[in-house]
Amino acid sequence: MIPAAQAMEPTTGAVTAPVLRVQGLTVSVQTEDGLRPLVSELSFVVRRGETLAIAGESGSGKSITSLAIMGLLPPPAVRVTGGQVMLGETDLATLPESRMRAVRGDRIAMIFQEPMTSLNPVMTVGTQLIEAIRAHEDVSRSAARARALEALRAVRLSQPERRMTQYAHELSGGMRQRVMIAMALALRPEVLIADEPTTALDVTVQREVLDLLRDLQREMGTAIILITHDMGVVAEMADRVIVMQNGRMVEEAATKDLFARPREAYTRDLLAAVPRMGAGVAQAEKPADAPVARLSDVVVRFGLKGGVLGRVVQNVHAVEHVSFDIRRGETFALVGESGCGKSTIAKAIVGLVPHQGRIEIAGQALEGLDAAGQKAYRRQVQMVFQDPMAALDPRMRVGDLIAEPLAIHGLGGVAEQRARAADLMARVGLSADQLDRYPHEFSGGQRQRICIARALALNPALIIADESVSALDVSVQARVLALLRALQDEFGVAFLFISHDMAVVENISDRVAVMYLGQIVELGTRAQVFGNPQHPYTRRLIDAVPVPDPAHQRMAQARLAGEVPSPVHALGAGPERVRLRDVGQGHLVAEG
Amino acid sequence: MATYLIRRLLQSALILLGVSFITFFLLFVLPADPVRQIAGRSATAETVENIRQQLGLDQPFIVQYGRYLAGLLQGDMGRSYLQKTEVAELIASRMPATLLLMAGAIGCELVLGLAMGIAAALWRGRMADHVLMMTSFVTVSAPQFVVSLLMLYVFAVQLGWFPIGGYGTFAHLVLPAVTLGILGSGWYARMMRSSMIDVLRADFIRTARAKGLTRARVVLGHALPNAILPIIAMIGIDIGIFMGGIVVVESVFGWPGIGQLAWQAIQRIDIPIIMGVTLVSALAIVIGNLLADVIAPFIDPRITLR
């Protein structure tokens, strides 16, 4: 089943007339120096039953375009300064707000990136759905309720009656995005704008939501404008693609042609930077000498308090009996979906959360050390986080940020620390004369380089990279990954690489552990885990990754979205312990 | 919920115990002598000593406090030194007036403050916003007695719309309630403005607009219930500030509530009344905060009490 071919021939009849026609759209922001264009002279059409992807990196203007079509640009600074948005015979760009309101939600609907925050937290799901229907159709409450229920069934939510009375926080991310889709499609709009609809979701959930969108499109013949940065999602979903850069269209092509024969250099670079499964660089097996880090039977639980005296009545079993070694100079990856405990392990290693079991760094455990010993321990482990802007103090100069670990550990004088900071800047590909600048003067990728330089300052044995490249654009991501590899060869540092992105993990890691609900279900070398995945969960994770190749075929598996298993257990109780079995050459797989 | 309430009530009892101790101690170390007030200027030293013994004021602090606490636990708040009446009766007779004034004032405060705050948030950065925020700044910084006297002069003396003072009809309530309301509205206006601005930026507001809802529905149906949460918690705290304001306003407008009672008692160092009014005020604050916390989950389902 090739989705692209399916959508070319909509089952609802061959209608080729464009539903939406954007002509010369220009969106500008009012600045102190006058108008600055965010989107320039953009033109495209979308036909019934067709999916048009608008792809591009951050700042390309793809989201601004979608907000311009919806008439939701943030006033008064940003506005449409030229061009037309023709929905049938109506130009939306010049439509007064009162008439635009009648179009919004009825003829054009939109779903957003953040399902966690896109639903009103204090209103039930049912109320929000009913309200959307009654905003456009003069129907009774009970009729609207019936329609809402039908919409929830259409997005394959389990127990739709119960969902109607629930609040957003009682649903998982995937369920919330389904509710958003139900709300958007309840009135059968002609155009659906999906702005990064699966970016914030786990990969297996992303898979389900993409399948759902495609099925619903086939049933309703909705035209979809899919805004995304993910070329894998583009390859799977779109009939045609527009590649944007700096507010301008770089290239427009049928999806198959774009992937097979990209015309523009920018498109070629973009496609080349996309991490692909099975493209990992073959690396020599690292010698199995004394491990840099050794975790044995590590358990992390958080107590939930209750009762009159506020005693612990339940435990969140975040990490359960996890054991692994990280060898010198190797990249050990922890993968798993949100809430599986991978970041909690990182926190336990640096001593930010209390744990049971034993964690050793260079043969030394944190427990029982005096203050000086703990400081020395911490010198061995450094962290690089997901959001570099949040990880850098905005009021400190970059040079001081990089030298701060040296100052904390009292290494060298001020001049030596500064020289070391300058040296590290050069190592991570930045210039030493930028030392006196502030973090906001750098781009996202450069900021992450600064964080890496800071982590390297103490020459640690282990760097924990917690989703360190997840927030970066693919081209930047590729360069940061290359930098990490080069630094590893140079400094011999080991990485604990924590990520939800299977393709990235497959590209950078030597060994991989797959986590599910606080426990490791599979552990082995990259070749073992990705080449010969044994555990069903590992296979599901790998299969769910969107493949940046339109010719790739995939088995569709429709699943009902229901409750996710909970890591919360009563005192004394707990999850069943997963036992790992060696299936050959150190490849460990959960039994049963 | 039940365990939560039990725990909170136990905490409340501890708070009241603490308040009673601190207040009693402060009144004990006060350099003024209540017995002198009771006996009058012409009393002999012997009479003064007699009265002191009668009232037990010659005893050490810990004995006096112990006696007071023992009485309190049996529901006895003591007798007024000067009015020779039970303190509990005095407070009970004046409580309805104060509660009425408080209800009127909080009503005024919320209506004025929230309306100003919402309007300022919607017109953020424009002239109306600046004017509203200036106004709120003036009301926040104006002294209570100045505003009280000004209101009295303009609306009662000059215009004659309302009675100069007293208690009994709705017309009597208007000036003191509005005065307290204006004074408190500035806080609410400022809080509501910033809370509303935050909420209006939220993703779910964009969703509501994308559904094609009217602006009124987006602001009142979606933004307001979210923006009002911090305000609810504030009302609980506000009751404390109110108790201070009520002493001044009740005295100026001749409103026969416990604020006036407290004012008279302080002037005469009538310790049992001061203690009683302080404890009742503390109780009101504790109950106000408890109510605010108990109401919160009904507005925001994410909040659970445990």
Query: What sign does the dihedral B202-B206-B207-B211 (CA atoms) show?
Result: positive
Which of A118, A188, A195 would you mutate first to test chain B, the one with the most B CBs within 10 A?
A118
Contacts of B202 in chain A (CB under 8 A): 117
Which B residues in the span 12-71 are in contact with A, Cβ-Cβ below 8 Å? Answer: none
Helix (H) or strand (E) holding A512: strand A511-516
CA distance A365 to chain B (A): 37
Which B residues in the span 89-118 are in contact with A, Cβ-Cβ below 8 Å? Answer: none
Residue in B203, B212, B301 nearest the CB of A118: B203
Q: Which residue of A has its CA nearest to B224?
A: A122
Question: What is the model's pLDDT at position A279?
Answer: 58
Give Cβ neighbours of residue A517 (< 8 Å, ≥ 6 apart): A317, A339, A340, A341, A565, A567, A575
Q: Give the C-alpha separation, A298 to A534, whole Å.
A: 24
CA distance B300 to chain A (A): 5
What is the total residue count of chain A?
Answer: 592
**More reliable by pLDDT, B162 or A130:** A130
Residue in B206, B213, B299 nearest the CB of A122: B299
**Strands, E assignment, A88-156:** 90-91, 108-111
Q: Please list the rounded mean pLDDT of every run of 10 residues in chain A (592 residues).
A: 42 65 92 88 93 89 91 85 91 91 93 88 93 93 93 87 90 88 91 89 85 89 92 91 93 93 91 77 59 92 77 86 91 89 91 90 85 88 89 93 93 91 90 90 89 93 90 84 89 91 89 92 92 90 86 64 72 83 88 78
Q: For residue B123, what is the DSSP state? A: T
Interchain CB distance below 8 Å, A118 and B206:
yes
Give Cβ neighbours of residue B256 (< 8 Å, ≥ 6 apart): B94, B97, B167, B250
Q: What is the value of ipTM here, to two decimals?
A: 0.79
Contacts of A103 in chain B (CB under 8 A): 212
Residues of chain B above pLDDT 70, percent: 100
Contacts of B206 in chain A (CB under 8 A): 72, 112, 118
Please name which of A260, A204, A314, A170 lies closest in space to residue A541, comparing C-alpha atoms. A204
The one-letter amino acid at A12: T
Query: Which residue matches tokens 């408190």?
Result: B184
Half-sphere exposure (Cβ direction) of A401: Cα atoms closer than 13 Å: 27
Of the given ranges (A300-304, B79-83, B299-303), which has the lowest mean pLDDT? B79-83
Per the DSSP assignment, residues forming a β-bridge with B24 are none
Interchain CB distance below 8 Å, B202 and A117:
yes
Interchain CB distance below 8 Å, B212 and A135:
yes
Contacts of B301 in chain A (CB under 8 A): 121-122, 167, 169
Question: What is the model's pLDDT at position B145?
Answer: 83
* Model pTM score: 0.81
Interchain CB distance below 8 Å, B203 and A183:
no
CA distance A169 to chain B (A): 7
Question: What is the model's pLDDT at position A6?
Answer: 42
Q: Give the C-alpha separation, A128 to A122, whole Å.
A: 10
Q: Give the C-alpha separation, B8 to A588, whole Å.
A: 51
* Whether B232 contacts chain A with CB within 8 A: no
Contacts of B212 in chain A (CB under 8 A): 101-106, 132, 135-136
Residue in B204, B210, B306 nearest the CB of A119: B204
Give Cβ neighbours of residue A514 (< 8 Å, ≥ 6 apart): A335, A336, A520, A521, A522, A523, A529, A535, A537, A538, A541
* Whether B195 contacts chain A with CB within 8 A: no
Per the DSSP assignment, residues forming a β-bridge with B79 are B86
User: How far is the CA of A185 from the CAs of A164, A191, A202, B116, in angstroms?
Assistant: 16, 9, 23, 38
Query: Which residue matches tokens 């880090």?
Result: A293
* Whether A105 contacts chain B with CB within 8 A: yes
Q: Is the pLDDT confidence value at B138 over 70?
A: yes
CA distance B302 to chain A (A): 7
CA distance B20 to chain A (A): 25
* Whether B209 contacts chain A with CB within 8 A: yes
Q: Give the C-alpha separation, A538 to A544, whole Å.
A: 10
Domains of chain B listed by start with CATH number: 2-73 (no CATH), 95-299 (1.10.3720.10)
Where does residue A428 rank: exposed (0-12), middle (13-18), buried (19+ CB within 10 A)? Answer: buried
Per the DSSP assignment, residues forming a β-bridge with A224 are A51, A192
CA distance A166 to chain B (A): 10
Q: Which residue of B has its CA nearest to A170?
A: B302
Query: Which residue matches tokens 């996202």?
Result: A444
Q: Give the C-alpha separation, A191 to A45, whole Å.
A: 11
Please name which of A76, A94, A96 lies closest in space to residue A85, comparing C-alpha atoms. A94
Query: What sign does the dihedral B206-B209-B211-B217 (CA atoms) show?
Result: positive
At B265-296, the pLDDT tens digits run 888 888 888 899 999 989 988 988 888 888 88
The one-letter amino acid at A311: R
* Whether A78 contacts chain B with CB within 8 A: no
CA distance B14 to chain A (A): 15
Interchain CB distance below 8 Å, B211 and A183:
yes
* Whether B130 contacts chain A with CB within 8 A: no
Contacts of A105 in chain B (CB under 8 A): 210-213
**Cβ proximity of A52 and A224 under 8 Å:** yes
* Whether B304 contacts chain A with CB within 8 A: no
* Whether A106 contacts chain B with CB within 8 A: yes
**Cβ proximity of B81 and B272 under 8 Å:** yes
Interchain CB distance below 8 Å, B206 and A136:
no
User: 3-state SS string over A529-542?
Assistant: HHHCCCCHHHHHHH
What are the backbone angles phi and psi of residue B297, rounded to the nearest 5°?
-60, -25
At B23-46, the pLDDT tens digits run 999 988 888 778 877 777 777 888
**More reliable by pLDDT, B302 or A148:** A148
Contacts of A310 in chain B (CB under 8 A): 7
Which A residues in the span 280-319 are in contact with B, Cβ-Cβ below 8 Å? Answer: 305-310
Question: What is the model's pLDDT at position A107?
Answer: 93
> Which pair of structure tokens corresponds to residue A473?
């654009």
CA A551, A555, A560 angle in degrees (round to 5)?
A: 135
